[in-house]
Chain A
Amino acid sequence: MKILNYKLILPAAAFLAGSALTGCKPGQGGANTDADAAKKVYVAPGKYDEVYTFMSGGFSGQVAAYGIPSGRLLKVIPVFSQNPENGWGYSEETKPMLNTSHGFVAWDDSHHPELSKTNGEDDGRWLFINGNNTPRIARINLSTFKTDEILELPNIGGNHASPFCTENTEYVVGNTRFSEPLDNAAGDVPIDSYKKNFKGAVSFVKVDKESGAMKLAFQLIVPPFNYDLAHAGKGPSHDWMFFTCYNTEQAHTLLEVNASQRDKDFVMAINWKKAEELIAQGKGTKTPAKYAHNVYNEKTHSATSVMENETQTLDVTKFPGLVYYMPCPKSPHGVDVSPDGESIVASGKLAAVIPVFSYKKMLDAIDKKQYDGTIDGALPVLKYEAVLRGEVKKPGLGPLHTEFDDKGFAYTTMFVSSEVVKWKVDNLEIIDRSPAFYSPGHLSIPGGDSKKPYGKYVIVMDKITKDRYLPTGPELCQAAQLFDISGNKMKLLLDFPTIGEPHYAQSIPAEKIVKNQVKFFKLAENTNPYAVKSEKETKVVRNGKRVDVYMTAMRSHLAPDNIEGIKVGDEVYIHVTNLEQDWDVPHGFAIKGANNAELLIMPGETTTLKWNPYQQGIVPFYCTDFCSALHQEMQGYFRVSPAGSNVPIKFSIGVNPVTQ
């Protein structure tokens, strides 16, 4: 009953807080808008933005790259969801990327972009992102802005605390939101046997230093709590990884109430270095598991999917010193580590304070065995007072996430009271607060979770935008807001709509990424088995019902452009190689009535569309990307004859004396 009352208060409190702070009605917000805002976000035509921001597309399953401060959408990077715009997940080459142990899963819920790090700083090489639904971690190559690798994680339900990386990207992690029986346990058990049969699993995915290649190194089997978010230590706390846990009540029904009972849940601290040593000593248990590992090769321009069948697990209750719990007020959500690696900030969604833990005190408490009981009779819970550095008092309602600037300040989003609160890390005093419109989740400061924050901006991602933009029916976009944090007071500069749900974002100075850009793929290095390097090599080959068309695209024609001898019921694979060797000259390829998608083929790349002609007739195909003045002329025809007819395969292109 107490809980219920508390919740009823929230909307009212939120309204009061909002009006008191802005001095005007919601929707009229602008009190904290900088008078100079337009100038500060204006990026003149032809000029580049200063920062890249990578935002998760949430339920769109993708990632979007924006330029900051302009807020311009630069690119939607297809990751977990099929993308008909460019054939991602539709072309034969990219279909394997969406393979999982559950079959072809062409959508997901992507939440946490994570930039690769070197010495605790963002290095601009890769971006990792989790698939929350069908547990996966993807790696995007930031020289091509393409998804290069997707690794499924076994034994996990709701891959939410993912994919946070250690200081040198030694590992990215993925952890269970929904604990469940391990995959090999088959799991046909009563759901109310939760406490007995359900488990959590923390996956440590090893990342190759040079190539970025991922490998599931080991999994820690942990109590069946819900694990929400994570951050690795840095500097002194390098060896540790911190996870928030909610539902330490281990409820399995009506969690809204049943998982909000305890006054304190936990931050789980894992000594990953120790886990790594134990694995090296052969202490891991080989456990059967089925999970897909998909890799895209930049030279063959195609992906392979391999099904793995084993994982290594460590039951943490059997290895003392691996895991400790720090009590944390009321349903913690975010856990963030200060740039110096010393302060661990956790936020209870329903708590009235923000606890700041001390890494030093944590080690001390472990040393002195200052325990407050154990979990599962083996895992020590450290005394709250012993590990606490202090609390940020009265921060607002619903603290969620914290990031840090370069001047010793922290910024925390308040979901319920819709604001961002700035506080000083050393004395935990609140310095400033600014309304956010509305219900901010994560926030992002360039380098804000690294050792070297760049400061200057904070981008706040909002879940609700009603009345902020021109209305678009019942479905409204979500949004990001850009604040200037270079001064003492936060100043709102800009807000802009985003794709899907901008759940979390990471931002990085543009120079770290721009210098590595690939402008086109070298045709000479294209080793796709169906690539053709010149028009002379184009051909059409029939093998039973399978027909392979080796086609080329260049400004402004496709070769061959007349293809006959295709029959109803054939399986036609059109392999299009883009012969261009110039920046920004992709070609498109589309067939009338094709049941899957079109293709977008980058210069020097080969991509394959599978087409099942189902009725006789003449079927046009054409380029969909306006590539040149003669783009409209870039077209051709298939002649489809009835099944069993004897029209021979024939292909041609008009005599073209102007090509070599």
Chain B
Amino acid sequence: MKTFTRTLIFISCLLMLTAYFLPLWHIGLEAPQYPEGLEMKIWLNGLTGNIDQINGLNHYIGMKFISVDDFKEFKILPYVFGALTFVGLLAAVLKSRRLLIVWFAGLCLFAIVGFGDFYMWEYNYGHKLNPHAAIKVEGMNYQPPLFGYKQLLNFTAGSLPDTGGLLVGLGGVLVAIAIFYPPRRSSNHTK
């Protein structure tokens, strides 16, 4: 394993670690009465932002209250992600291309499961609207956006990666480069 590859792995690991102190995802809401916007930030281990206000508004359409306690994910995510990052480090230290591939596969799986889980939560929030709610949403369902923007009544909801998410994503790209970048051309760079 070339120094270049190992450097990439180390940088990638550093980027991954930002997930512990930067928010990963960001959901923003904007409406005429809220020009300053309401937001919810998703972290590796919890939620922050205007959750009370968002809950207050969601009750009009009968959406379940969002509560951090309902997400068991936040209890295990920091460990799973930590373990994954550790595999990455190990790959660099042991100069193991095998481990590197395991790590990459793990990261891909993590992303797929993560987004799948996120989608299911959103689906459940948007499709189990209380039939007694004051405002009936057309078709009684509303799928919040997984990525990008969507309009609901007076609100525009936007769902985008936050700083931590972007850095972790960048880390993932570096891992991909480490694996797929032709080694002989990388030797030109290193020497």
Contact = CB atoms under 8 A, between A and B. Distances in A.
A294 B53 CA distance: 34
Interface in A542-565: 554-556
A658 B130 contact: yes
Contacts of B132: 657-658
A659 B59 contact: yes
A555 B56 contact: yes
Most buried by A among B60, B65, B67: B60
A660 B53 contact: no
Contact of A580 (B56, B67, B130): B56
Nearest to A654: B132
Contacts, number: 30
A630 interface: yes
B52 A582 contact: yes
Contacts of B130: 657-658
A556 B134 contact: yes
A300 interface: no
B1 interface: no
Contacts of A317: none
A554 B62 CA distance: 15
Nearest to B65: A660
A478 to B, nearest CB: 35
Interface in A631-660: 657-660
B136 to A, nearest CB: 12
The list of the 4 closest CB pairs from A to B, nearest first, reads A581-B52, A660-B65, A582-B53, A658-B59
Contact of B56 (A554, A629, A630, A657): A554
Interface of B: 50, 52-53, 55-56, 59-60, 62, 65, 67, 130, 132-134
A554 B130 CA distance: 18
A526 to B, nearest CB: 14
17 contacts: A555-B56, A555-B60, A556-B134, A581-B52, A581-B53, A582-B50, A629-B60, A629-B134, A630-B134, A658-B130, A658-B132, A658-B133, A658-B134, A659-B59, A659-B65, A660-B65, A660-B67
A443 B55 CA distance: 49
Given A556-B134, A630-B134, A658 B52 contact: no
Nearest to B54: A582
A660 B66 CA distance: 10
Nearest to B129: A658
A101 B131 CA distance: 59
B130 to A, nearest CB: 5
Contacts of A657: 62, 130, 132
Nearest to A584: B33
B105 to A, nearest CB: 40
A581 B57 CA distance: 11
Most buried by B among A581, A657, A658: A658
Contacts of B53: 581-582
A629 B60 CA distance: 10
Given A554-B56, A582-B52, 7 more contacts: A581-B52, A581-B53, A581-B56, A629-B134, A657-B132, A659-B59, A660-B67
Contacts of A630: 60, 134
A658 B62 contact: yes
Contacts of B67: 660
A582 B33 CA distance: 12
A629 B59 CA distance: 13
Nearest to A585: B56
